[in-house]
Amino acid sequence: MATEFSRVEIMSGMDKVANFTEKLGHADCVKQLMKRGVSGVTIYNNVVGCGIQHGLSEVEYELSPENLAIQLLPKSVVTFICESAKVDELIEYLKLELYTGHIGDGKIFVSDVRNVIRVRTGEEGRDALKASVID
């Protein structure tokens, strides 16, 4: 059964996420996200990880892809919760924002969210993501 909300997580290099975070400081970027049903963002910094390239740089991977030693690189994770109906639109927007064509552009993970609860007011679902009506 399709859920009403989706979690969109971007896992990418810290530099790339820092660029994206900088854009969040601009009203235009925030407007674009809000238009796509995003009302907040959570960023996990200072995590480490690697992908299929085992942490090799683009050049190293291209020249010696058989190198299997894993090198963990500084990464960040950006999490958005949005309405499932708008998730495709959000992903298209994020893809364009993150794309450079180089290895390290990151991955976007999409998963279902069963419910959202605002602890302070007890509001659930869609209400918990909007400005509270109780206030």
Partner 1 sequence: MEKKIGIFGAVSTGVGMLIATSCFISSASGASAVGTPFVIAIVIACIANMMAVLSIAELNAIMPNLTGGIAQYTLAGMGPLITIVTMVGGYLISNVFAAPAEGAMFANVMAEIAGDSISPAVFSVGITIILIIVNLMGVNMSTLLQEIVASFMVLSLIVLSVVGAVGIGSGVQVEQAAVISSDLADVLPLTATAFWFFIGAEFIVPLAKDMKNPRKNVPLSMVLSLLIMGIIQIIMVFGFKNYTMWSDLGAAASPHVLYAVAMMGKWGRYWMIIVAIFAAVSTQNSIICSVSEICCGMAKMELLPAFFQKKNSKGAPYYVILILGLLTILIEASGISTGEQVSFLTLTCSLFWMLSYITSHMNVIILRRKMEKVPRSFKTPFYPVFQIVGIILQVYMMFNISNDPVQRLHIYELCFVLFLGLFIYALFWVKYRLRMPLLKGCGVLQVMVQENPLYHEIKKHNADVEC
Listed residue (9, 2, 3) closest to 109, CA to CA: 9
Q: Does 101 bind partner 1 (CB under 8 A)?
A: yes
Listed residue (16, 8, 25, 7) closest to 75, CA to CA: 16
Q: Does 109 bind partner 1 (CB under 8 A)?
A: no
CB closer to partner 1, 98 vs 129: 98
Write the DSSP string, 73-86: EEEEEEEEEEEGGG
Q: Where are the beta strands (DSSP E) in 40-121?
A: 42-49, 73-83, 107-113
Give the residue, chosen from 15, 22, 88, 92, that forms a contact with partner 1 under the rule CB under 8 A.
Answer: 92
Count of residues binding partner 1 (CB under 8 A)? 16
CB of 17 to partner 1, least distance (A): 17
Give the residue, chosen from 1, 52, 59, 131, that forms a contact with partner 1 under the rule CB under 8 A.
Answer: 59
Q: Does 52 bind partner 1 (CB under 8 A)?
A: no
Rounded Cα gap, residues 88 and 84, in angstroms: 8
Q: Does 89 bind partner 1 (CB under 8 A)?
A: no
Q: Which two tokens stand for residue 121?
A: 């007011």
Q: Does 100 bind partner 1 (CB under 8 A)?
A: yes
Q: Can you give the binding site for partner 1, defined by CB under 8 A?
A: 57-60, 62-64, 92, 95-96, 98-103
